[in-house]
């Protein structure tokens, strides 16, 4: 039987002090069901050559953590991954800053991952690589002789070729992805974006009628695998946490007011500045709600060394202060804005207590908070989800109140509609969304991807595709050079 090896930029073993993100939830679900190894950076940086991986076993899952060079990590993570790939893939060109030095560090870190992972691999392993930090990893492993199936899942959006071409090395990126046997995306929009790049670089004939890609001698599966949540676990956490001290203190403090809840990592893609503006517009447009609703926004800090994230934190603090200064009363604060983590179970209790869930990213691969809000609700008296139509989750949760996150007036109207919605309609909408969540839960996501990976057969030659610079024409790139850039 095959062993599953999951690889991600950062290892996130379960901790009670913080809520795991969507990637961690998905990986842990896969490994707990199948057993296996989770490999990644452990959070430590060093000045010298990184040592051998440290291995710990917890609840049947092996965690192998490595160190990274401090300077290289800064250029790779805060630099290339989060100042180039993240804004580009989310269609935020204003925040993109490309440099060859950062790109070289990105390549070097992926080489380190491959070199440190290789001694841990066994003959029957299936390898599942996660997210944009590690797109070149399959090529690096192939160069070291790894022939086992390697899959890749992208948790964030994939842009159309007209956006992707802004990246000077877009062709190398697409070629790196074709070194995988299975490539997974959150939505059909993301898959179409990837196909547009493949067609541009390799020609329309590279996309076969069955949807597989034929790149030279290689056949690659590129499909949609929308990530889900563990519905029963979320429901149980929410029910258990609701009478607990932390959630009870929060609900008692509302003094009977309606609760609107937002839970997001502090990131410009989450649309928090626009969301705060929409809430202010709502209070201006529907003054009868003054003193009757409290909006709690939980936004743990992230990437604090990146300038764009420092700026958004300042903007949100200013926006919250302006709204509270204008509308607050002696016994009421319109916005409670918290930059801190809570245990996952506590967050599920908060979501269950909320009458409105506000999830309005400007662009998101999926957004599991939207799904967790639905799963956490009381089916007999559910709250209403307001969801950005630019989030991947909107493709599945069509019974939510879908809004354009840039339209503050529309978001304000949706808040009013949510607060005034009848119980019958709330139950109908919630029931429809809950059916979708149960059909596409986290176990289904794991099973479908792993089965696809196990079924995949490499039909290519042992040599990975040749790589070139992107400054040439697409046809020249296809014919290409026969060497790789280190």
The answer to whether 230 is a known catalytic residue is no
Tell me the residue range of the domain where 323 lies: 231-439
170 and 247 assigned to the same domain: no
Tokens of 261: 């809840």
205 and 267 assigned to the same domain: no
Q: For the beta carbon of residue 162, count every other beta carbon within 10 angstroms.
A: 11
**Domain for residue 14, yes or no?**
yes
Strand order in the sheet with 150-153: 54-58, 61-69, 36-46, 3-10, 125-130, 150-153, 182-185, 218-224, 213-215
**Domain for residue 472, yes or no?**
yes
190 and 138 assigned to the same domain: yes
pTM for this structure? 0.91
Residue with tokens 């074709």: 178
On whether the CB atoms of residues 52 and 44 are closer than 8 A, the answer is no
Q: Closest by alpha carbon to 396, among 362, 433, 369? A: 433
C-alpha pair distances (Å), 203 with each of 5, 346, 460: 33, 50, 18
Look at residue 304 in the predicted model and tell me its pLDDT: 61
**Rounded Cα distance, 172 and 307, in Å:** 28
183 and 257 assigned to the same domain: no
**Rounded Cα distance, 255 and 332, in Å:** 10
On whether the CB atoms of residues 67 and 58 are closer than 8 A, the answer is no
**Rounded Cα distance, 87 and 99, in Å:** 14
167 CB-contact burial (10 Å; exposed 0-12 / middle 13-18 / buried 19+): buried
Per-residue pLDDT in tens (0 to 9) along the chain, 486 residues? 689 999 999 986 666 545 555 567 777 877 877 779 999 999 999 999 999 999 998 888 899 999 999 999 999 999 999 999 999 999 999 989 999 999 999 999 999 999 999 999 999 999 999 999 999 999 999 999 999 999 999 999 999 999 999 999 999 999 999 999 999 999 999 999 999 999 999 999 999 999 999 999 899 999 999 999 999 999 999 999 999 999 999 999 999 999 999 999 999 999 999 999 999 999 999 999 999 999 999 998 876 666 777 888 899 999 999 999 999 999 999 999 999 999 999 999 999 999 999 999 999 999 999 999 999 999 999 999 999 999 999 999 999 999 999 999 999 999 999 999 999 999 999 999 999 999 999 989 999 999 999 998 544 444 455 554 444 444 333 333 233 233
As a whole number of Å, the end-to-end CA separation of the chain is 35
Containing 89, the helix (H) or strand (E) segment is helix 86-89
Task: Give the chain's radius of gyration (CA, Å).
Answer: 23
On whether the CB atoms of residues 298 and 262 are closer than 8 A, the answer is yes
Q: DSSP readout, 339-393?
A: -----HHHHHHHHHH-SEEEE--SSBS--HHHHHHHHHS-TTS--EEEEETTBGG
Residue with tokens 């200013």: 318
> Of residues 90, 133, 155, 344, which has the active-site annotation?
155
180 and 153 assigned to the same domain: yes
Tokens of 415: 């808040």
286 and 386 assigned to the same domain: yes
> Of residues 364, 413, 430, 441, which has the active-site annotation?
364
Structurally, the chain folds into a number of domains equal to 2
CATH code at 455? Answer: 3.40.50.2000
**Rounded Cα distance, 327 and 342, in Å:** 28
**Domain for residue 273, yes or no?**
yes
Look at residue 476 in the predicted model and tell me its pLDDT: 35
Look at residue 480 in the predicted model and tell me its pLDDT: 34
Look at residue 461 in the predicted model and tell me its pLDDT: 40
428 and 454 assigned to the same domain: no
Q: Taking the mean position of all CA atoms in its chain, how far away is CA 53?
A: 26
**Rounded Cα distance, 461 and 185, in Å:** 25
179 and 310 assigned to the same domain: no
341 and 447 assigned to the same domain: no
| 60 DSSP assignment | T
| 207 DSSP assignment | B
The answer to whether 430 is a known catalytic residue is no
Look at residue 457 in the predicted model and tell me its pLDDT: 57
Containing 39, the helix (H) or strand (E) segment is strand 36-46
**Domain for residue 485, yes or no?**
no
Look at residue 119 in the predicted model and tell me its pLDDT: 97
366 and 414 assigned to the same domain: yes
**Domain for residue 484, yes or no?**
no
User: How, if at all, do strands 218-224 and 213-215 pair?
Assistant: antiparallel
**Domain for residue 114, yes or no?**
yes
**Rounded Cα distance, 13 and 134, in Å:** 19
| 304 DSSP assignment | T
Ranges of beta strands (E only) in 283-351 are 293-298, 335-338
Q: Tell me the longest C-alpha to C-alpha distance in the chain.
A: 72
Give every CB contact of residue 102 below 8 A, 6+ residues apart in sequence.
75, 76, 79, 80, 83, 84
211 and 300 assigned to the same domain: no
Residue with tokens 């302006």: 322
User: How, if at all, do strands 293-298 and 335-338 pair?
Assistant: parallel
Q: DSSP readout, 91-119?
A: T-GGG----HHHHHHHHHHHHHHHHHHGG
On whether the CB atoms of residues 27 and 130 are closer than 8 A, the answer is yes
**Domain for residue 91, yes or no?**
yes
271 and 399 assigned to the same domain: yes
């Amino acid at each position: 039987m095959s062993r599953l090896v999951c690889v991600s930029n950062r290892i996130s073993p379960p901790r009670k002090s913080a809520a795991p993100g969507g990637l961690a939830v998905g990986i842990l679900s896969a490994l707990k069901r199948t057993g296996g190894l989770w490999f990644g950076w452990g959070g430590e940086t060093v000045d010298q050559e990184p040592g051998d991986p440290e291995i710990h076993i917890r609840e049947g899952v092996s965690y192998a953590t490595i160190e990274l060079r401090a300077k290289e990590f800064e250029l790779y993570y805060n630099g290339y991954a989060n100042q180039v790939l993240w804004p580009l893939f989310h269609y935020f060109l204003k925040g993109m800053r490309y440099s060859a030095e950062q790109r070289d560090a990105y390549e070097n870190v992926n080489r380190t991952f491959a070199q440190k992972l290789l001694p841990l691999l066994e003959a029957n392993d299936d390898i599942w690589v996660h997210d944009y930090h590690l797109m070149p990893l399959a090529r690096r492993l192939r160069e070291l002789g790894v022939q086992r199936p390697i899959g890749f899942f992208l948790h964030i959006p994939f842009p159309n070729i007209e956006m992707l071409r802004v990246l000077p090395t877009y062709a190398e990126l697409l070629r790196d992805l074709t070194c995988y046997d299975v490539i997974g995306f959150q939505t059909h929009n993301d898959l179409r974006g990837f196909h547009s790049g493949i067609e541009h670089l390799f020609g329309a004939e590279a996309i076969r009628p069955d949807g597989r890609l034929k790149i030279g001698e290689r056949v690659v599966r590129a499909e949609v695998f929308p990530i889900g949540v563990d519905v029963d676990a979320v429901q149980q956490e929410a029910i258990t946490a609701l009478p607990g001290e932390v959630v009870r203190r929060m609900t008692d403090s509302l003094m009977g007011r309606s609760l609107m809840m937002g839970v997001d990592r502090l990131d410009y893609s989450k649309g928090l500045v626009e969301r705060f503006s929409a809430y202010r517009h709502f209070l201006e447009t529907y003054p009868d709600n003054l003193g009757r609703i409290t909006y709690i926004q939980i936004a743990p800090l992230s990437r604090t060394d990146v300038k764009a994230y420092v700026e958004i934190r300042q903007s949100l603090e200013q926006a919250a202060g302006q709204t509270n200064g204008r509308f607050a009363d002696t016994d009421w604060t319109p916005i409670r804005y918290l930059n801190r983590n809570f245990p996952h179970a506590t967050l599920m209790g908060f979501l269950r207590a909320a009458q409105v869930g506000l999830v309005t990213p400007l662009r998101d691969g999926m957004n599991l908070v939207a799904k967790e809000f639905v799963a956490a609700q009381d089916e007999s008296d559910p709250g209403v989800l307001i969801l950005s139509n630019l989030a991947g989750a909107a493709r599945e949760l069509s019974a939510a109140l879908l809004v354009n996150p840039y339209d503050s007036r529309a978001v304000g109207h949706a808040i009013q509609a949510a607060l005034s919605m009848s119980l019958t309609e709330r139950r109908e909408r919630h029931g429809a969304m809950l059916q979708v969540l149960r059909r596409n839960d986290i176990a289904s996501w794991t099973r479908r991807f792993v089965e696809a990976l196990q079924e995949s057969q490499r039909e290519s030659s042992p040599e990975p595709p040749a790589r070139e610079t992107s400054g040439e024409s697409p046809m020249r790139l296809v014919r290409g050079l026969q060497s790789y850039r280190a």
